[in-house]
Amino acid sequence: MSEPRVTGDETVADDIAVRVEHLTKVFGRRAGEAADRLAEGASRDEVAKLGTAAVIDASFEVRRGEIFVVMGLSGSGKSTLIRMLNGLLDATRGSVEVDGQPVTGIEPRRLRAVRRSQVSMVFQHFALLPHRTVLENVAYGLEIQGVDRDRRLELARRVVDRVGLAGWEERLPSELSGGMQQRVGIARALCADTPVLLMDEAFSALDPLIRREMQEQLVELQAELGKTIVFITHDLNEAMFLGDRIAVMRDGRIVQIGSPEEILTDPANDYVAQFVQDVDRTRVLTAASVMEPPAASVPLTVGPRGALKALRDVQSSTLLVTGPGRTVLGAVRDREVLRAVQRGDRDLAALVDADVHRVGPDTSLADLPELAITSGLPIAVVGDGGRLLGVIPRVMLLAALGNVPTDTSELAIVDLPPAVDPRLVAQTLDDTQEVSDAR
């Protein structure tokens, strides 16, 4: 116990950091009975006389190095849930494993050992020890782990520097602003050097500007340190920004687990759908989530005639042209293709406008409108080596920003109509077909 535990135990092949199975928590004298009835399918209201069901049959897995957000309104059971992950509350039913070690149903001594070595916590109202300095607070976890004083203060000093509080080590928490106090809270959890971090509404008590800054810092820290973070929040924007995956809770049950995009674009029920209505979609959605399969693209080798046929099939005014390995070369417009076909040109390359915007699949939606207005051409989404993954027609972009469902038929989605008369295209194709057939 004299040395702090090294994180990321390599001997555990499993990449699951936290495993929760059928976790139920009922408060009240007859909690067990209530839990059994819930398991048999009784509703929360039906067992209200037996006890208050805070968490009902929650199951999920948190992967190593992931930020897993549990989101719900107050009273949805999320705080109870997170307190069962480190055994601050006993589970009525179900099991929790952290790093392969059980947290539920073990004796207090072993539970304390798990808390010391596996999982630390950041609290909503910071929960710093007011009679200790910043440095002593940060070193608290190591102190309990039994690290000697000089060593733990040295390690704590490093973490204090890392969260940007250098120079404040000897102050008392009461001398710090809220944001700084929560930095101490985060530093304390980081300094304990456990692989899993639980954060209970960690930023909810901070004002919005500080909160945003802390969110960004947390993402940065997580990328650097590779901690597994379970983050509780009632703020959907925060959940969407931080979460690799999000579990949405309502009335003690988890109603959906998915990536922010899945939650946003494919809500499991009306509740989630209503919830995500107000979210700032541009912060969450990426190019990949709004792109279309690249139907409106042709290889360069098809020539003008092939391009014109494709244009006729997709009923669009523009077409992406790809080269070897499906790399994006540029786009062609129907008017020019038509003229080339009429002239009998065989070379499509001459018509290609290379000035097509190319974005990666992870590009934020917020960056796309600017590109869309500076070019009449669709935006190409490209992967490694410029390979075409999909295209974002301008109309799709508008639909995504306006939260208009593109997969229902209530609204007819109209892309830029072909700039030339389709009958003319058909006529031209027929005419040129004879020529090529005759040859």
Question: Which of 167, 170, 183, 175 is CA-nearest to residue 126?
Answer: 183
Vertex 124 angle, CA 119 and 129, to 5°: 75
- Decide whether 129 or 424 has the Cβ nearer to another protein: 129
- Decide whether 164 or 405 has the Cβ nearer to another protein: 164
Vertex 428 angle, CA 416 and 352, to 5°: 55
Question: How far is Cα 2 from Cα 48, in angstroms, rounded to an integer?
Answer: 48
Q: How far is the CB of 403 from another protein (least distance, A)?
A: 38
Antiparallel, parallel or unpaired: β 67-71 and 228-233 = parallel
Q: How far is the CB of 143 from another protein (least distance, A)?
A: 9
- Decide whether 129 or 411 has the Cβ nearer to another protein: 129
- Decide whether 115 or 333 has the Cβ nearer to another protein: 115
DSSP at 286: B
- Decide whether 185 or 294 has the Cβ nearer to another protein: 185
Question: How far is Cα 233 from Cα 203, in angstroms, rounded to an integer?
Answer: 8
CA 79 to each of CA 70, 254, 271: distance values in angstroms, whole numbers, following the listed order: 9, 13, 20
Residue ranges binding another protein (CB under 8 A): 83, 86, 88, 112-117, 120-121, 123-131, 140-141, 144-145, 157, 166-171, 188, 192, 198
- Decide whether 122 or 284 has the Cβ nearer to another protein: 122
Q: How far is the CB of 240 from another protein (least distance, A)?
A: 27
Q: How far is the CB of 89 from another protein (least distance, A)?
A: 10
CB atoms within 10 A of CB 312: 16
Q: Are 283 and 212 in contact (CB under 8 A)?
A: no
- Decide whether 108 or 402 has the Cβ nearer to another protein: 108
Q: How far is the CB of 236 from another protein (least distance, A)?
A: 24
Q: How far is the CB of 129 from another protein (least distance, A)?
A: 6
353 φ, ψ (degrees, to nearest 5): -90, 110
Question: How far is Cα 87 from Cα 84, in angstroms, rounded to an integer?
Answer: 5
Question: How far is Cα 48 from Cα 28, in angstroms, rounded to an integer?
Answer: 10
Question: How far is Cα 245 from Cα 66, in angstroms, rounded to an integer?
Answer: 8
- Pull the structure tokens for residue 425: 């295209």
- Decide whether 33 or 169 has the Cβ nearer to another protein: 169
Q: How far is the CB of 154 from another protein (least distance, A)?
A: 10
Q: How far is the CB of 328 from another protein (least distance, A)?
A: 52
Spatial CB neighbours of 66, under 8 Å, sequence gap ≥ 6:
17, 228, 229, 244, 245
- Pull the structure tokens for residue 102: 């059980």
- Decide whether 76 or 86 has the Cβ nearer to another protein: 86
- Pull the structure tokens for residue 129: 């020890």
Q: Are 111 and 87 in contact (CB under 8 A)?
A: yes
91 φ, ψ (degrees, to nearest 5): -75, 140
Q: Are 90 and 119 in contact (CB under 8 A)?
A: no
Q: How far is the CB of 170 from another protein (least distance, A)?
A: 5
Q: How far is the CB of 82 from another protein (least distance, A)?
A: 10
